[in-house]
Structure 1
Amino acid sequence: MTLALLSRYWRELGLAFLAVIICGMVLLDARHASQRDKARAELAAEQARHAVTRQSVETLTAALDVKNRESEARAKAYEESKAANAKAIAELDQRYKATASRVEALRAMAKQFPANPACRAPAALLAQLEGL
């Protein structure tokens, strides 16, 4: 009897089975569509957060570039100042050596004369003292 019913209604049963499969697929698709929509919303939110992060990084990078240029300008000015100061130090060193040699000459001249508080300093010694 079951075989007879199957052979008589096989098309209807096949269509019913196909309808059940299609309904199952529709339900699965609806569930997946809900998950897909949720994933898309999460993706959009994540992309918005990343956009803010990228903007922050760009802002900080620009500020860092400005600070680097300022630092490089200060370093260049420092090097130029250092070179100028080295020249000034060399000139001052020359003047110190010249003055030191004059002081030594004055000391040598002073040792040649006896120590006498009442005595006036010689004109040569006074001439050497001028400009020190």
Structure 2
Amino acid sequence: MPLTVNRPFKDVAVCESTTSIATTPVIATGIAPSAGYVERVMAAAGGTTTGTIAVAVSINGGSDITGGALTIAAGSNARAASILEFPGVGTASGISVNEGDFITFTPSGGTGASIPGAFVMVIR
């Protein structure tokens, strides 16, 4: 039996999807529904891909907050998400967002024909 993960009720998720994360990637965009700190980001593939897919996550068009660390490994069929957690949540060293900030998920580097993808940013 898997252990439960203690997650507070104040977490808010920005969930977005795209029609293609591989050969011809399509950017996914969302809007932060509340102010807070980025707690974690996730990315998953909805089909078979080759090559590692890097997912750049930016806030208001800034630089990649993951530093290239959010990736989707090559694999077959739909598969579980790659998760990247951020240290310093709720402190001065955390990555903050404001209500209404524009969030962009930009996949690149993989191959595959029209492979859908899903992305999540959790704000605390």
- Whether TM-score is above 0.5 comes out as no
* TM-score for both structures, normalised by structure 1: 0.18
- The structure with more radius of gyration: 1
Higher RCO, 1 vs 2 (CA within 8 Å, ≥6 residues apart): 2
Q: Going by fraction, where is strand more abundant, 1 or 2?
A: 2
* TM-score for both structures, normalised by structure 2: 0.19
